[in-house]
Chains A and B, each alone.
Chain A
C-alpha cells in the first residue's frame, strides 16, 4: 500500500493556487520558539486560541517538553471590535498567575487582519498598572500571509533588539560578541556558545533555548527553566564589539537592527553546518580574539576531516532531496557538496530574497543538475513528483518525509522542524565540526544500512 498513493510521476502539473504538503509553516510558531529563548519569558499569541494551541502542540511534539504560551482567545466580538480588551485581560492574568519577567506578544493572521496596534495596547496596559514594575511586554508582528516560520523567528529576535538593546558607552566592550544562532535546536545553541567560549569570547546569544526546551526531569516543573538569554544580557548586547548573525533569513534582521540602533558592527553568514561554514564562523570569531584558534577546536576540525576522507567513497555521487528552511538548506547543501554528494531536489516554502542565489553559489557547476524551487507551491508534493520521475538516494528533512521514504523506499535522515517521531535532535547538535560529524554519521548509517539490506550474498561486506 502506498501512503501517498495519489502522487504520481509523469508530467508535473504547475500549480498557482493549491499548496499540497507544504514545506513551511506559519510565522507565530517561530516567534513562540524564539520567545521561549528569553529567560522567564511567557510568549503570548494575540489572536484566536486555535493558533496558539497548534503552535504549543507542535513545539511539545517536537521537543517532548512543555511549551508554555498564552492566547488572547478571540471570539467573534473581538474580531469585530479588535482585541484590545483581550490583550489587557491576558496581560493582567499572565502577570498575576504566571509571574514572567517578560511577556512576548506575537500576532496571528486574525489580529493582523484586524490591524490591532500592539504597542498602543501595551501603553494602555502600563497606564492601567497591569504591567508590574520591572516587567516587560514586547511584541512582534507575525502575519503568516507574509513569510513563514523562519520569518516569525526573525521578527521576534529583532523585537529583542528593538525593545532591549542599549548602547551605554562610547567604546564597545572588547571580546563581547553577540551571536544570533538562527532557527536551530537547543543543542545547536549550546554548541555555538561552547565554540565561542573556547575562542575566548564572551558571547551573548539570543535567543537561547538551550536549558529551556531540553530541560531535565527533576520531579519539579519549572515554569521558567534555567536557560534563556536574560534581559540584562539583551540590554548589554548594545555594547558588544560585534554581532555574528548565523543565517541571513532568521538572524539577519536582528543584526541589522542592532547596528542601526547601537552601532554594533555585524557579520551575517550562513549557519555553521559543515566544514567550510564552520571554518567561516571560527574565522569571524578569530578576528575578535586577537587571532588564535584553540587546540580543542583544531582537534575537532581534524576529526571531522578525518571522517570525510575515510568514508568519502560512500558519500560520493549520492543524490539527495531536501526540504525545509532556507538557512538550513543552504548549510546542508554546502555540507553535502563538500563530500561530493548532490543536493538534487531542494524546496522551501519560505520566502527570502537571496536564497536562490545562495543555492547557486553552493551548487557551483552542479547547478544544472539540481532542481531548486522556492515560494508558493514549492512544496513536498512537487518534490515527490520529481522523485517519482527520477529517484534520488537520500531524503533529508522533517518528519513529513517519512511517507515518501516508505513509499519509495529511500534512505532518510530527519533534519529540521518539526521532527515529531524521533528524539536526538534536541540533544545532539548538527552545527560546528562536531555537529557535522553527527550529520555525516547519520547519513552514513542510512546509506550503509541500505547497502547491507540490498547487497546479494556474494557482495555482502563485513568491513565497510
Chain B
C-alpha cells in the first residue's frame, strides 16, 4: 500500500483535539517511577526526521526487553514460541512436552494451524497432545528416565519418523539433559529425535522460543535430504497456516509456476524441512520468528533470502513480482502477471463494495511480531487508518528496520539464547548463487531487507511495544477506535467497551486472509465485524 504520507500527522480522534503527546503523557503518569521509566522507552510517538540527504530517521523504540511483573502483559513464553508457533504446525513429528501437564495441554490444538494430509495413511499428530506429565518424584529425582520411557512408548505405539522433545520451566531448573536423552534414544531407535531447551523463563517472550526452534530444526533436520529441486524453487518462511493461509499461497505459487519446497511451518512435514536447503530462494513472511533460519541457510548453503508479504492484495502482487524478478525468467514473469490479472478483478470488486463502508475508520493493532505491521496493508486497502500499533514480542529491527541491527544492545536475557555458529558447507555451498546475488544487488534488487513497521506508519502515530491491559483500556477509552486488533486475552475486554476486536492470532476462527482470495475474505469479515448492528444496541431505550 502507499504509506500514509509522513507529512500528514495522524488524527487520533475525529475532532483532532487529542494529541499523541498529551495522550502519552496522560497514560504514563499513572505508573510507579521505575515502571514508568521502562514504559517511556516502549511507548513512543512515530516522529520521523527527514535528513538532508532525503533519508528518514525513525525514533528509537525499546523492544525485546523484560516485561514488567504485574503489568498484565499480552506476552507468552519461550516454550509457546518454540513448540506452539514454530513446531506446532508440522503434522508428522511427535512433539512430546517434557514437563508437568499444563504446558502441553494449553498448546494442544489451540493455535489453529491447519494441515492437510493427503490421506489417512499419512501421519498427522497435530490432534494429539503428548506429555511426560511430570510428577513430584520426577522433580525431586530428575525426569530423564521418564522422558526416555515416554519416547520409547511413543515409538512403540506410533512409529513416527521423528520425535521432538520440548522442555518446560521446571526441566531446566532440575537440570534434566533432554539433549542427551534425545541423542541416546535416537541411537537406540534409529529415528530422528531431538530436543529443545525452550524453558519458558528463557528470554523475555515467545521470541526466544522462535530462535531456539530455528536453531534446532536447522541443526537436526535441514540438510538431511539432498533431493534436487527445480529452478524456480523457494521456501516460504514464517507462514503458519492460520485459517488456511498456506493453502491459498500454495495454490497461488503453483499457478505461477513456482515450486514450493517447504513452508516453515504451515501445512509442513518433516521431509520438507529436511529438503529445504535445496530450494533456490528463501521468501520470508514473518521476519521476527524465522529470520534465523533464513540467515543460517544462507551462510551454510549460499541461498539468499528476501522479505515478502502476502497479506494484502497489493503486497501479494508485489511479493510475487519480486520472486519473479529474482529468477529473472521472462516466461515465469509472464505467468506471474497472468495470475495477478486473473485474481485482481475480484479484489477490485470487493474493494468497491466494502471500502465505502469502512473508509476513514480508525484501527489499532497490537499483536505478534509481524502481523501488527502486515495487516496495516489490508486496512490501508480499505481506506482505514492505523492510529496506533505495536508488537507483542518483536525486536527493534521489526519496528525500525534491519539497518538498526548493529546498534541493538544485547542484554543478559538475549545473551543466553544460543547463536549457532554456522560455516559454509564445503560440498553444498553454492557460490554461483552468491555471485548472482551480488550482481542483482548491484542492479538495485534488495536482499535480506526489512524496513520495519514504523516507516510505513503515519507521522505521530502511537507505537507501543508489549502493550498491557492498562494502556489498552485507556487508549480505547480516550481514542474510541472503530476497531482494535489483538488476541484472545484482550478480545472480550475490548468488546465489553463497545468496540469490536479482531483477533489476529486466531483470526476469530475465520480466514484465510493471505493472498488475493484472503484479502477479499478479510474485507468481508471486517465489514461484518465493524458494521454489525449489535454495537448500536448497547444503550437500552430507557437510557436514551
B103 & A50 in contact (Cβ 8 Å cutoff): yes
Stretch from B117-125, B232-240, B253-261 at the A interface: B117-125
Which chain B residues numbered 483 to 510 have a C-beta less than 8 Å away from chain A?
Answer: 487-489, 491-498
With a cutoff of 8 Å between Cβ atoms, the chain B residues found around residue A219 in the complex are 496-498, 538-539
B166-174, B380-388, B517-525 - the one binding chain A:
B166-174
Complex contact A113–B132 (CB within 8 A): no
Contact between A79 and B168, CB atoms less than 8 A apart: no
Q: Which stretch, B56-64, B200-208, B439-447, touches the partner chain A?
A: B200-208
Q: Are B101 and A403 in contact (CB under 8 A)?
A: no
Does B327 have its Cβ within 8 Å of any Cβ on chain A? no
Q: Residue B149 at the A interface, CB < 8 A?
A: yes
With a cutoff of 8 Å between Cβ atoms, the chain B residues found around residue A77 in the complex are: 412
A51 to B109, CA, bound (A): 16
User: Which residues between 53 and 92 of chain A lie within 8 Å of chain B, taking CB atoms?
Assistant: 53-58, 60-61, 64-79, 86-87, 89-92
Instruction: For A65, list chain B residues within 8 Å (CB).
Output: 492
- Tell whether B70 is near chain A: CB-to-CB under 8 Å: yes
**Per-residue contact bits, chain A 120-158, to B (CB 8 Å; 1 contact, 0 not):** 000000000000000000000001111010000000000
Q: Is B350 an interface residue (CB 8 A)?
A: no
Enumerate chain A residues within 8 angstroms of B133, measured Cβ to Cβ.
Answer: 19, 22, 349, 376-377
Binds B, one of A41-49, A190-198, A365-373, A446-454: A41-49
State whether A70 and B106 are in contact (beta carbons under 8 Å apart), knowing that A19-B130, A92-B32, A109-B170 are contacts in the complex.
no
Contacts of A114 in B (CB 8 A): 173
B170 touching A110 by the CB < 8 A rule?
yes
B424 sits at the interface (CB 8 A): no
Contact pick for B102, options A26, A49, A381, CB 8 Å: A26
Complex partner residue of A78 from B102, B123, B201, CB under 8 angstroms: B201
A109 near B128 (CB under 8 angstroms)?
no
A223 to B413, CA, bound (A): 32
Nearest-CB distance from A48 to chain B (Å)?
Answer: 4
Q: Is B20 an interface residue (CB 8 A)?
A: no
Q: Which of A372-413 contact B (CB under 8 A)?
A: 376-377, 381, 400, 403
B139, CB-defined interface residue at 8 Å: yes
A109 B169 Cβ-Cβ under 8 A: yes
Q: Which residues of A contact B119 (CB under 8 A)?
A: 1
Q: B138 and A145: CB pair below 8 A?
A: yes
- Cβ of B17 within 8 Å of any chain A Cβ, yes or no, is no
Q: Which residues of chain A are within 8 angstroms of B102 by Cβ–Cβ distance?
A: 25-29, 51, 54-55, 109, 144
Rounded to whole Å, the gap between the CB of B87 and the closest CB of chain A is 15
User: For the complex, is B77 an interface residue (Cβ under 8 Å from A)?
Assistant: yes
Determine if A168 is an interface residue (Cβ-Cβ < 8 Å).
Answer: no
| Docked-complex contact A93 and B71, CB < 8 angstroms | yes
Q: How far apart sit A17 and B154, CA to CA, in the bound complex (Å)?
A: 9
B212 at interface by CB-CB < 8 Å? no
Stretch from A3-11, A266-274, A330-338, A431-439 forming part of the interface with B: A3-11
Whether A73 pairs with B488 at a CB distance below 8 angstroms is no
Assess whether A25 is in contact with B105, with CB atoms less than 8 Å apart: yes
Q: Is B35 an interface residue (CB 8 A)?
A: yes
Q: Which residue, of B69, B473, B492, has the highest number of chain A Cβ atoms within 10 A?
A: B69
Given A13-B153, A18-B96, the answer on whether A49 and B131 have CB atoms closer than 8 Å is no
Cβ contacts under 8 Å, A221 to chain B: 473, 493-494, 496-497
Task: Tell me if A19 and B77 are in contact (CB < 8 A).
Answer: no
Contact partners of A54 in chain B: CB under 8 A: 76, 80, 102-103, 106-107
| Closest partner residue, chain B, to A144 (CB atom) | B100
Query: Pick the contact of A73 from B68, B487, B539 — CB < 8 Å?
Result: B68
Q: Is A15 an interface residue (CB 8 A)?
A: yes
Q: Which residues of B contact A26 (CB under 8 A)?
A: 100-103, 105
Q: A57-B488, A96-B31, A97-B30 are in contact. Are A72 and B105 (CB under 8 A)?
A: no
Q: How far is A100 from B515 in the complex, measured between Cα atoms in Å?
A: 46
Minimal Cβ-Cβ distance residue in A for B490? A66
B-contact 0/1 string along A140-184, CB 8 Å cutoff: 000111101000000000000000000000000000000000000
B198 nearest CB across to chain A (Å): 10
Interface contact B110-A57, CB-CB below 8 Å: yes
- Whether A66 pairs with B135 at a CB distance below 8 angstroms is no
CB distance from B106 to the nearest CB of A (A): 4
Asked if A220 lies at the interface with its beta carbon under 8 angstroms from chain B, I say: yes
Q: How far is the CB of A80 from chain B (nearest CB, A)?
A: 9
B66 within 8 A of A: yes
A285 lies within 8 A of chain B by Cβ: no
Contact, CB under 8 Å: A60 / B120: no
> Known contacts being A113-B173, A146-B135, is A49 close to B75, with CB within 8 Å?
yes
Contact check, A145 vs B136: say whether CB atoms are below 8 A apart: yes
Q: Choose among A21, A50, A69, A349 the residue that contacts B80 (Cβ–Cβ < 8 A).
A: A50
Q: Which residues of A contact B158 (CB under 8 A)?
A: 6
A49-B200, A109-B168, A349-B101 known; A18 and B69 CB under 8 Å? no
Task: Please judge, given known A-B contacts A19-B132, A73-B73, whether A61 and B30 are in contact too, CB under 8 Å.
Answer: no
Closest chain B residue to A376, Cβ basis: B133
A17/B150 in contact, CB under 8 A: yes
Q: Is B134 an interface residue (CB 8 A)?
A: yes
Q: Is the CB of A60 within 8 A of B100?
A: no
State whether A61 and B173 are in contact (beta carbons under 8 Å apart), knowing that A74-B201, A376-B135 are contacts in the complex: no
Contact (Cβ within 8 A) B70 A92: yes
Contact A22 B153 (CB under 8 A): no
Do A44 and B169 touch (CB < 8 A)? no
Q: Are B104 and A53 in contact (CB under 8 A)?
A: no
A22, A93, A109: the one contacting B131 at CB < 8 Å is A22
Bound Cα distance A92, B146 (Å): 41
Given the complex, which residues of B lie within 8 Å of A94, measured CB to CB? Answer: 70
Per-residue contact bits, chain A 200-223, to B (CB 8 Å; 1 contact, 0 not):
000000000000000101111111
> In angstroms, how far is the closest chain B Cβ from the Cβ of A205?
24
Q: Which of A2, A55, A64, A79 contacts B169 (CB 8 A)?
A: A79
Closest B residue, CB atoms, query A108: B169
On chain B, the residues within 8 Å of A78 by CB distance are: 201
Given A13-B156, A18-B132, A57-B106, A76:B170 Cβ within 8 A: no
- Are the CB atoms of A113 and B201 closer together than 8 Å? no
B170, A17: Cβ atoms closer than 8 Å:
no
Separation of A380 and B139 alpha carbons in the complex (Å): 25
Chain A residues with Cβ below 8 Å from B69 are: 70-73, 86-87, 89-90, 93
**B169 and A47 contacting across the interface, CB-CB below 8 Å:** yes
B230 on the interface (CB 8 Å rule)?
no
**B498: chain A residues within 8 A (beta carbon):** 217, 219
Chain A residues whose CB sits within 8 angstroms of the CB of B354 once the complex forms: none
- Chain B's closest residue to A64 (CB) is B492
Cβ of B201 and Cβ of A89 under 8 Å apart?
A: no
Within the complex, the shortest CB–CB distance from B297 to chain A, in Å, comes to 28
B157 at interface, CB cutoff 8 A: yes
Bound Cα distance A120, B518 (Å)? 54
CA A76 to CA B107, docked complex, whole Å: 22
| A16 interfacial by beta-carbon distance below 8 Å | yes
A50 lies within 8 A of B79 (CB): yes
Q: How far is the CA of A381 from the CA of B157 in the complex (A)?
A: 11
Closest chain B CB from A431 CB (angstroms): 25
Alpha-carbon distance between A51 and B106 when the two chains are bound, in angstroms: 9
A403 — nearest CB in chain B belongs to which residue?
B127
Question: Using Cβ atoms and an 8 Å threshold, which residues of chain B touch A307?
Answer: none
Give chain A residues whose Cβ lies under 8 Å from the Cβ of B105: 22, 24-26
Contact for A218 among B96, B136, B489, B538, CB less than 8 A: B538
* Assembled-state Cα–Cα distance A393/B305 (Å): 55
Nearest 3 CB-CB pairings of A with B: A50-B77, A26-B102, A90-B70
Jot down 23 A-B pairs with beta carbons below 8 A, ordered by A. Answer: A5-B120, A6-B124, A17-B149, A18-B149, A19-B129, A19-B133, A20-B128, A25-B101, A26-B102, A48-B200, A49-B67, A54-B80, A66-B489, A66-B492, A71-B73, A73-B67, A76-B201, A108-B169, A109-B102, A109-B170, A113-B139, A220-B496, A400-B109
19 extra A-B contacts, CB within 8 A, seeds A60-B488, A74-B169, A90-B69: A17-B150, A19-B130, A27-B102, A49-B76, A53-B74, A70-B69, A70-B71, A70-B72, A76-B201, A76-B416, A78-B201, A79-B172, A92-B32, A96-B30, A110-B169, A143-B136, A146-B135, A215-B496, A221-B473
